[in-house]
A = this chain, B = another copy of it.
Amino acid sequence: MTEFLPNHPAGQKVILLNGGYDATDIFTPIHPKGTIEKYLPAEKHLGHLDGEAPIRPKKVDPFEDERLDNLDHLPPLSAIQNIHDFEYLAKNILPIGAWSYYSCGADDEISMRENHYAYQRIFFRPRVCVDVSEVDPSTELLGSKTSVPFYVTATAMAKLGNPGGECSIARGAGKEGVIQMISTLSSNSLEEIAAARIPGATQWFQLYVNEDREMTHELIQKAEELGMKAIFITVDAPTLGNREKDRRSKFSDDPNLDLGKDAQRGSGASRALSSFIDCHLNWDDIIEIKGMTKLPVLIKGIQRVEDIFKAAEIGCSGVVLSNHGGRQLDTSPPPVEVLAEAVPLLQKMDKLKPGFEIFIDGGVRRGTDILKAVALGDNKVKVGVGLGRPFLYSNSAYGEEGVRKAIQLLKDEVELDMRLLGVRNLNELNRNFVDTRRLWSGKEAEDYLYHRNYEPIETVQFRRDE
C-alpha cells in the first residue's frame, strides 16, 4: 500500500489510521465492487489473511444505542405519509457519517434550503369545472416513456445507507416505471446496477469527465453497452464544494486529535470522490465527448440562462438546471428560479432544436413542486424533474420497498394535484397555471416538516477532558 498512499483520492490519513486493521466496513460502502482489482496491480495482491484482523476501536457514540433502537422500531411503510417522513426516519437511523454526507450542503447551506423554499414562493392558478375523471401523469423524457414527469437523479454512495446500494434503487424505480440516472460515483458498479434494471425500464448515465479522456471514452462505451439511454455530463463540480457539516462529522470520533493538514478543507468524505473529475473541462471538451457517443448528451449543473443557450447551440439534447443540491457553490440560484427566467427567453431563440428538454433538480419534495416545474415549461421546452436525497432516504430506511413507496406517494400527489389543478395530462399544463410574482421578492410561509428535519451546521467545539 505504501506506493499507493499518495494517490489515494481520499487522502492518506484514512489508510494510515486503519493500518493493521480490518477496514472492510469502511471500504465497502464507498468503493464499487472491483475497485481493488482495477486499481491495485496484481503483484500487490499478496495472498489471503490467516485468521481475522482486528477492527480499529472507535470512540463510543453516545447516540448509537438510540440509533439502533430506532432501527428496531421503524414504522410500517403504510404509516409513511410523505417524503419528509422518510427524511425524518433516515436522520434517526443512519450512522452520523452517512447522514452528514447525504444531508449536507455547501458553506451556510443557503442554496440547499432556498432550492426547496423557492417552490413555495410559487402559487398555483387552479382551473375548475374540468372533467378530471381520468388524469394521466405519464410522459416521455428523452424519448423514453415514464409513468410520471420525475426521475431518480444520480447520487453517490447509496451503500452508506443501505447495503442494497444503487441496485435496490434501480429495482424500486424500475418497478414503478420511473427512470433512474446512475452516478459515475455509485457504490455499486455500473454493471451491477444495469443488471438490476427491470425489463423495459430506462437508465441514464451521469458522467464525471476524467482527465484521462480514454477512460472517459471507455466509460461511455460501457454505459452504451449496458443499455444506458442518455449521458448527462456534470459540470458544476470542477472541484468539490465546501461541505462543512460532512467534514466535521467525519472527524467527530476524536475531537481532541489535532488532525493536521489532512483534516482541513476538502478532505472530508466528499473529497473522497473528487480526484477523478477533470477541472479543465470546457465547451470544446463537451463537443469532443458528444462525438464519442450516439446517445443523447446533456449538460448537468447549468445555473444561468446564457449557458442553456450555449448547450443548445452546440447541439446538446438538453440541460439539467441544478446547483448539485446546494452542495457546490452556496448562494447559487435555486434552479426553479433559473427555469422561470429561462423559458420565456428560450421561446425567443430561433435556432432552438426541437425536442430540447430541460431537467431540474434540488429541493423537490411534493407533487406540487413537480407540477410547478413542469408548468414552467412550454410546448417548445419540455421539463422533467429530478429527485435525489428522497430516494437515498427511503432506500436507507426500507430498501427497494421504500423507494417504491416514495415514488407511489409522489405519483399519488401528482395525480391528486392534477385533478385539483384541472389538468388531465401534462400537455395541458403551462405557465398560466402558476403565479411567480413572489419568486424574487422573498418570503414564504413556514414549512414545518422541512424545517423540523433540517439540522443547522454547528460551530467548532472546545476540546473535552478525557
Contact = CB atoms under 8 A, between A and B. Distances in A.
Interface of A: 70, 73-82, 84-85, 88-89, 92, 107-108, 110, 113-114, 117, 120, 122-133, 235-236, 238-239, 241-242, 244, 247-248, 251, 255, 257-261, 263-266, 279-283, 285-286, 299, 301-304, 306-307, 310, 323, 328-333, 366, 368, 372, 409, 412-413, 416-417, 419-421, 435, 437-438, 440-450, 452-453, 456-457, 459-465
Nearest to A311: B129
A419 B279 contact: yes
A236 B257 CA distance: 45
A420 B463 contact: no
Contacts of A463: 73-75
Contacts of A456: 446, 448-449, 452
A447 B89 CA distance: 25
Contacts of A129: 235, 281-283, 285-286, 299, 307, 310
B409 A303 contact: no
Nearest to A319: B128
Contact of A449 (B81, B303, B446, B457): B457
10 contacts: A79-B251, A81-B247, A123-B333, A125-B333, A126-B303, A132-B239, A329-B420, A438-B440, A446-B456, A449-B459
Nearest to A236: B128
A448 B264 CA distance: 21
Contacts of A76: 257-259
A307 B465 contact: no
